[in-house]
C-alpha cells in the first residue's frame, strides 16, 4: 500500500529481502581508483588531473590528497576478501588511465599497471566476485590536459579509444561488464564550469561544460565502437555509460512547475542519454543554449546511436522542482529556469539529511527515477551503479570506535532504497544489479576525508585499518536471505 504525504506518494516502500529479487540479480559494491588506490608514484603511474588539482590546498576542504588514499593498491587482497566474506557478488572498480598510459597518448603501455589490474581482476574472480570495470572515473592523465586541453579537445575521443582498446585487449577475457565514463555531467559542470573538481575552472565557464560533455559523449561512442568491432564477438561482454540522476518531483501541479521538472530531466540525463537513444540533445537544451551547444555530424550520430548495452544509474537523492524566472544567462543552472527545493510545499523536509548538504534521504525517489528512465528510453537494461549516504567525520571522531561502526542511519538508507529497486522491478523496469557506494570510506573529492560513505570504516589515524560497519553486517544478512537484525 502506498501512503500519500503532502500529495506525494511514498512509493509503497516498506521492508525488503533478497527473495524480492531474481536469483541472478547482481549485488555489489563500488569504488573508484583515485578515491582509494593511493600509490600515486608507484608502479609507473603518471599523474592525473586529480593528483595535480589536490596539490592546490585551496581545492580540498581538509587540504588532503589521494596520494595514499586508503592504500587499496597494496591492500586489494584484504579488501576483496572482505567483500566476498560479506557475500557480495560483484565489485565495480575503476581503472586509472594514467596507470595504463602514464602520458595518456596511448603509445607506451605501462606493463606494471596492466599487472596490477590483472592481479586485481584475477583475485576477484578467485573470490567469486564479478568485475564491473569503469574506464574513466575522473582521473584524466595530466599530460592530456596540458598538451591538448583534456576534455575540451576534439582529439580526446581518439586517445580514449586507444586506452579503451588496451583495456579490452588486456582484461576483456575476464571483464564482461564495462562502463566507459562515470557521470559525465559532474566532469562537465564541476570540472569545466564551476571549477570545484579537476581540472578546475577553464577558460570559458559558459561554453566549456557543453564542449566537455560533447567530447565525453564522442569518446564513449568511440570506445563502444572499438568493443563492438574488435571484441564483442569473442569476448561477449557489455558496455554501458553511467549517468547521475536525482529524482525531480514537480513542486506543484501548476503547468510551469511540471514543465520545469521535465526540463530538469532534459538537462540532467537527457543531455547524455538523448543523443544515444534519439540521436541529438534534447530540444529544450537546443532552444535555450543555441550555438553554445555543439552539433553532431552524421557520423557522430551514427556512432552514438544505441551505443549502450545498459544504462548505469548513480542515484543518491531527490528534490522538488519549481519554475523560476531567471535572467536567461547561458549558465548551466540559470538557463534551466528552475529551483531545486528541499521541502514539500507544506514546508516539511523532503527527507532526513545525510552529511553532504546535497544529500537528502528519499527512498521513493529511486523507484521513480528507475521508472522514468525505463519509460523515457524504451526499457533499457539498467544497473544502479552507485547508491549510498555519508556521515561527517568530525561527528564520528567524538565517538569510540565501536560506536562509529553503528551506522544505523545508513542501514535504514539501504533498506529503503533497495526496497525501492524491488518496487521498480515489479513496476516493469529492467534493473539487473545494484552497487552500494562505497565499499570503504575514502577520498570524497573536494570534501577530502571529511565525509565517510563506506560500508567499511577506515581508521585514518591507525594504519588505515578496516572495520566493517553495521551496514556491512546488515548487507551480509540480507544477501544470505536472512531476516534483518536491525
Ligand atoms: C558520485 N551531487 O558523484 C561519484 O561518482 C563518486 O565518486 C562520489 O564519491 C559519490 O557520488 C558521492 O559523492 C557525485 O552533488 C557527487 O549531486 C556529487 C553529486 C552527484 C554525484
pLDDT band at 156 (very low <50, low <70, confident <90, very high): very high
The residue behind cell 564483442 is 232
| Region of 205 on the Ramachandran plot (φ > 0 left; ψ -120 to 50 alpha; else beta) | alpha
pLDDT tens digits, one per residue of 225-265: 999 999 999 999 999 999 999 999 999 999 999 999 999 99
Residue nearest to atom 9 of ligand 1 (CA): 444
The response to whether 247 counts as a known ligand-binding position is no
Q: Which homologous superfamily does the CATH classification assign to the domain defined by 11-479? A: Glycosidases (3.20.20.80)
The response to whether 137 counts as a known ligand-binding position is yes
C-alpha to C-alpha distance for 76 and 193, rounded to whole angstroms: 35
**Of 9-18, 201-210, 346-355, highest mean pLDDT:** 346-355
Distance 454 CA to ligand 1 centre (A): 13
The response to whether 215 counts as a known ligand-binding position is no
Ligand 1 touching residue 486 (CB < 6 A): no
Residue nearest to atom 21 of ligand 1 (CA): 244
Identify whether 55 is a catalytic site residue.
Answer: no
CB 55 within 8 A of CB 65: yes
Distance from the first to the final alpha carbon of the chain: 23
pLDDT band at 328 (very low <50, low <70, confident <90, very high): low
pLDDT tens digits, one per residue of 379-405: 999 999 999 999 999 999 999 999 999
Distance 387 CA to ligand 1 centre (A): 9
CB-CB neighbours of 359 under 10 Å? 20
Helices and strands (H and E) in the chain: how many: 19, 19
Overall pTM surpassing 0.75 (yes/no): yes
C-alpha to C-alpha distance for 284 and 386, rounded to whole angstroms: 28
- How far are the Cα atoms of 35, 138, 187, 209, 359 from residue 190, in angstroms, in the given order? 17, 11, 6, 8, 17
Distance 196 CA to ligand 1 centre (A): 12
Is the peptide bond between 199 and the residue preceding it cis, with omega within 30 degrees of 0?
A: yes
Once rounded to an integer, what is the mean pLDDT over residues 14-20? 92
Pairing, β 26-30 against β 310-314: unpaired
- Tell me which of 360, 437, 441, 455 to substitute to probe ligand 1's pocket, judged by most ligand atoms within 8 Å of the beta carbon: 437
Residue nearest to atom 17 of ligand 1 (CA): 358
Ligand 1 touching residue 134 (CB < 6 A): no
Q: What is the DSSP letter of 192?
A: I
Distance 149 CA to ligand 1 centre (A): 24
Ligand 1 touching residue 9 (CB < 6 A): no
Asked if pLDDT for residue 266 goes beyond 90, the answer is yes
- How wide is the angle at C-alpha 349 spanned by C-alphas 346 and 352, nearest 5°? 160
The response to whether 314 counts as a known ligand-binding position is no
The response to whether 271 counts as a known ligand-binding position is no
Distance 206 CA to ligand 1 centre (A): 22
pLDDT band at 148 (very low <50, low <70, confident <90, very high): very high
Ligand 1 touching residue 182 (CB < 6 A): yes
C-alpha to C-alpha distance for 477 and 67, rounded to whole angstroms: 35
String of DSSP letters for 27-73: EEEE--HHHH---TTSTTPPPBHHHHHTTSTTSSTT---SSSTT-HH
H helix intervals, 255-383: 255-265, 271-278, 283-289, 298-304, 363-376
pLDDT tens digits, one per residue of 213-223: 999 999 999 99
Ligand 1 touching residue 183 (CB < 6 A): yes
For residue 10, the model assigns a pLDDT of 84
Cell numbers placing 430: 529492467
**Of 368, 282, 355, residue with least CA distance to 320:** 368
- Tell me which of 314, 342, 413 to substitute to probe ligand 1's pocket, judged by most ligand atoms within 8 Å of the beta carbon: 314
Once rounded to an integer, what is the mean pLDDT over residues 169-185? 99
Cell numbers placing 119: 592481479
The residue behind cell 565525453 is 216
C-alpha to C-alpha distance for 312 and 321, rounded to whole angstroms: 24
Pairing, β 352-353 against β 360-361: antiparallel
Is the peptide bond between 438 and the residue preceding it cis, with omega within 30 degrees of 0?
A: yes
Once rounded to an integer, what is the mean pLDDT over residues 430-434? 99
Cross-strand bridge partners of residue 75: none
CB 33 within 8 A of CB 443: no
Distance 108 CA to ligand 1 centre (A): 32
Pairing, β 130-136 against β 451-452: unpaired
Cross-strand bridge partners of residue 435: 28
Identify whether 183 is a catalytic site residue.
Answer: yes
Burial, 327: exposed, middle or buried (Cβ in 10 Å; 0-12, 13-18, 19+)?
A: exposed
- How far are the Cα atoms of 115, 413, 431, 482 from residue 485, in angstroms, in the given order? 41, 15, 26, 9
Amino acid at each position: 500500500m502506498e501512503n500519500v504525504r503532502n500529495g506525494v506518494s511514498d512509493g509503497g516502500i516498506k521492508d525488503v529481502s533478497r527473495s524480492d529479487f531474481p536469483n541472478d540479480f547482481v549485488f555489489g559494491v563500488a569504488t573508484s581508483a583515485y578515491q582509494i588506490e593511493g600509490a600515486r608514484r608507484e608502479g609507473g603511474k603518471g599523474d592525473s588531473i586529480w593528483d595535480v588539482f589536490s596539490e592546490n590546498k585551496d581545492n580540498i576542504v581538509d587540504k588532503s590528497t589521494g596520494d595514499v588514499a586508503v592504500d587499496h593498491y597494496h591492500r586489494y587482497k584484504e579488501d576483496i576478501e572482505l567483500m566476498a566474506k560479506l557475500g557480495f557478488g560483484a565489485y565495480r572498480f575503476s581503472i586509472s588511465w594514467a596507470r595504463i598510459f602514464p602520458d595518456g597518448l596511448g603509445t607506451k603501455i605501462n606493463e606494471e599497471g596492466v599487472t596490477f589490474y590483472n592481479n586485481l581482476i584475477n583475485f576477484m574472480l578467485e573470490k567469486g566476485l564479478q568485475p564491473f570495470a569503469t574506464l574513466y572515473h575522473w582521473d584524466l592523465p595530466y599530460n592530456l590536459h596540458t598538451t591538448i586541453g583534456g576534455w575540451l579537445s576534439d582529439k580526446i575521443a581518439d586517445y580514449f579509444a586507444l586506452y579503451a582498446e588496451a583495456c579490452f585487449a588486456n582484461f576483456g577475457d575476464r571483464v564482461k561488464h564495462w562502463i566507459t565514463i562515470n557521470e559525465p555531467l559532474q566532469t562537465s559542470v564541476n570540472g569545466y564550469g564551476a571549477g570545484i573538481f579537476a581540472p578546475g575552472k577553464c577558460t570559458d565557464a559558459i561554453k566549456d561544460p557543453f564542449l566537455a560533455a560533447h567530447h565525453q559523449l564522442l569518446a564513449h561512442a568511440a570506445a563502444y565502437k572499438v568493443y563492438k568491432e574488435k571484441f564483442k564477438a569473442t569476448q561477449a561482454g557489455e558496455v554501458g555509460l553511467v549517468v547521475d540522476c536525482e529524482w525531480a518531483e514537480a513542486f506543484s501541479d501548476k503547468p510551469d512547475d511540471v514543465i520545469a521538472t521535465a526540463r530538469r530531466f532534459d538537462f540532467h540525463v537527457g543531455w547524455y542519454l538523448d543523443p544515444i537513444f534519439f540521436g541529438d540533445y534534447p530540444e529544450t537544451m537546443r532552444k535555450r543554449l543555441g550555438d553554445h551547444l555543439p552539433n553532431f555530424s552524421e557520423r557522430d550520430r551514427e556512432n552514438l546511436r544505441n551505443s549502450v548495452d545498459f544504462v548505469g544509474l548513480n542515484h543518491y537523492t531527490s528534490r522538488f522542482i519549481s519554475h523560476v524566472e531567471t535572467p536567461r544567462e547561458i549558465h548551466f543552472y540559470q538557463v534551466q529556469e528552475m529551483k531545486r527545493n528541499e521541502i514539500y510545499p507544506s514546508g516539511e523536509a523532503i527527507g532526513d539529511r545525510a552529511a553532504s548538504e546535497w544529500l537528502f534521504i528519499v527512498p521513493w525517489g529511486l523507484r521513480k527515477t528507475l521508472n522514468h528512465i525505463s519509460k523515457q528510453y524504451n526499457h533499457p537494461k539498467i544497473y544502479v551503479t552507485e547508491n549510498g549516504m555519508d556521515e561527517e567525520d568530525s561527528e564520528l571522531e567524538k565517538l569510540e570506535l565501536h560506536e562509529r561502526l553503528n551506522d544505523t542511519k545508513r542501514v535504514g538508507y539501504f533498506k529503503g532504497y533497495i526496497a525501492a529497486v524491488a518496487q521498480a522491478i515489479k513496476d516493469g523496469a529492467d534493473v539487473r544489479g545494484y552497487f552500494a557506494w562505497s565499499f570503504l570510506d575514502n577520498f570524497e573529492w573536494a570534501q577530502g576525508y571529511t565525509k565517510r560513505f563506506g560500508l567499511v570504516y577506515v581508521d585514518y589515524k591507525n594504519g588505515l585499518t578496516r572495520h566493517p560497519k553495521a551496514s556491512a553486517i546488515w548487507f551480509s544478512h540480507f544477501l544470505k536471505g536472512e531476516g534483518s537484525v536491525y
